[in-house]
Amino acid sequence: GNTPSSSPLPVLGSMLSFCCCTSASSLETLSALFSAGPVYHEYCDCPEEDPEIWQNTMSCPSQEPQITKDLISFPTIDLQRMLKEIPTKFSQTRGAIVHYTILNNHIYRRSLGKYTDFKMFSDEMFLSLARKVHLPDVEFYLNVGDWPVEYRKANDTPGPIPVISWCGSADSKDIVLPTYDVTHSTLETLRGVTNDLLSIQGNTGPFWENKTERALFRGRDSREERLHLVKLSKENPELLDAGITGYFFFREKEKELGKVQLMGFFDFFKYKYQVNVDGTVAAYRFPYLLLGDSLVLKQDSQYYEHFYIGLKPWKHYVPVMRNLEDLLEKIKWAKENDEAARKIAKEGQLIARELLQPHRLYCYYYKVLQEYAKRQASKPEIRDGMELVPQPDDRDSVCSCHRKKNQSSTKDLP
């Protein structure tokens, strides 16, 4: 499956640093970031009470097409039906559902199933968001497993229910949030780990003209097409360098296909072309590959992350058939059309920089909660078995909420 990674979220560009910015100390080294207004330590609990002010301050988009698409099947959200149905339907079969309630900007949750350890990623994001803006009262169910879970159609009886997941698919109805990987990396960036923010952008390997003119793939054996990649590589080493770094699903194939050593992610960008093939679901390396300066050859997939809707084939990446039948042909095209390939690589990098900036992820999380809350047919409640998820006690940060101070002092102005 897609397991947690320490790989950094490669985001770059101006980011308004009102309450969700990096710590003041890290700003000294982040010349790429633009600061306007009070800068708070990541652990300062200073939420903006007016969400409209916060969204304007953060330059949040008025619409997120993926959220609009996800919620179109759910004009009304029946919390009582979900309370009765979800624990038995999904938690027993999948075992990876976390039931959240946010009330008065406090976060409560209970785990439904055995495989909910990844709630640590959602916990830290919701807590971080609650320190920046007052969240709507909302009750929802987050699937922290790899696969989407709600496959019923709108005209089925009973119809689908709105489960929130990190990955969506063409045949599911899950509401998609940014993946735990992108989310965690963003939080690491905001804690002042400057290497997280800039590492991919600053380690994109040789200049384009000096990169190796072959396509690269490294990864585990989590999908059969990845094994096919290795066979193609053995037959066409002048075009493709593909290797499996670990076997779990197809262990019987290791002797035939071999196993290669792990490669440092920065070394990927010594190659001009990067092959992106699904793992168990969408390959969560895709945003990282886009933000390098190599051309991404992306396998056609039913799975998607929250930002895919903003991407266009042949503008931001080169599409490849699901069975990889045309992969070699596409690599040859890139070699024969170097300037066009370079332009697509650059466009992909630019759109990813725009869509994956930290403030855009915060905006996206908030928008999902806001739009979901509007559709609730009843008031959220703290259910039996729920526990408070406490804000971290960070005594090292000096925190003074200027927003409240400023609001009171403006009354004295002439």
How is 172-187 classified by DSSP, letter by letter? --PEE---HHHHHHHH
Residue 313 is given by DSSP the state B
CA distance 231 to 233: 5
Task: Please give the angle made by the CA atoms of 358, 360 and 361, to the nearest 5 degrees.
Answer: 65
pLDDT at residue 22 in the model: 34
Task: Tell me whether the omega of the peptide bond preceding residue 178 falls within 30 degrees of 0, making it cis.
Answer: no
Q: How many helices (H) and strands (E) does the chain have?
A: 15, 13
Task: List the domains of the chain with CATH numbers.
Answer: 24-178+357-396 (no CATH), 206-305+308-355 (3.40.50.2000)
Give the Å distances, CA to CA, from 206 to 96, 212, 347, 350.
42, 9, 18, 19
Identify the residue whose tokens are 């931001």: 316
**pLDDT tens-place values along the chain, 414 residues long:** 444 333 333 333 333 333 333 333 333 333 333 345 566 778 889 999 999 999 999 999 999 999 999 999 999 999 999 999 998 887 666 689 999 999 999 999 999 988 899 999 999 999 999 999 999 999 999 999 988 999 999 889 899 999 999 999 999 999 999 998 888 887 876 665 433 434 665 566 789 999 999 999 999 998 999 999 999 999 999 999 999 999 998 899 988 999 999 998 889 999 999 999 998 888 888 998 998 889 999 999 999 999 999 999 999 999 999 999 999 999 999 999 999 999 999 999 999 989 988 899 999 999 999 999 999 999 999 999 999 999 988 666 667 786 553 443 333 334
**What is the DSSP track for 51-98?**
HHHHHHHTT--S--HHHHHHHTT-SSB-HHHHHHHHIIIIITTT--EE
CA distances from 284 to 52, 179, 280, 288 (A): 32, 8, 10, 8
β-bridge pairing 271-276 and 106-112: unpaired
Cross-strand pairs, 98: 111, 142
Q: Which residues of 203-232 are buried (b: 16+ CB within 10 A; e: fewer)?
A: bbbeebeebeebbbbbbbbbbebbbbbbeb
Which residues, in sequence order, are bridge partners of residue 112?
Answer: 97
At 19 the pLDDT is 36
pTM above 0.75, yes or no: yes
Residue 100 DSSP SS3 = strand
Angle CA(206)–CA(209)–CA(213) in degrees, nearest 5?
Answer: 90
Torsion of CA 235, 239, 245, 249, to 10 degrees: -60
pLDDT of residue 193: 44
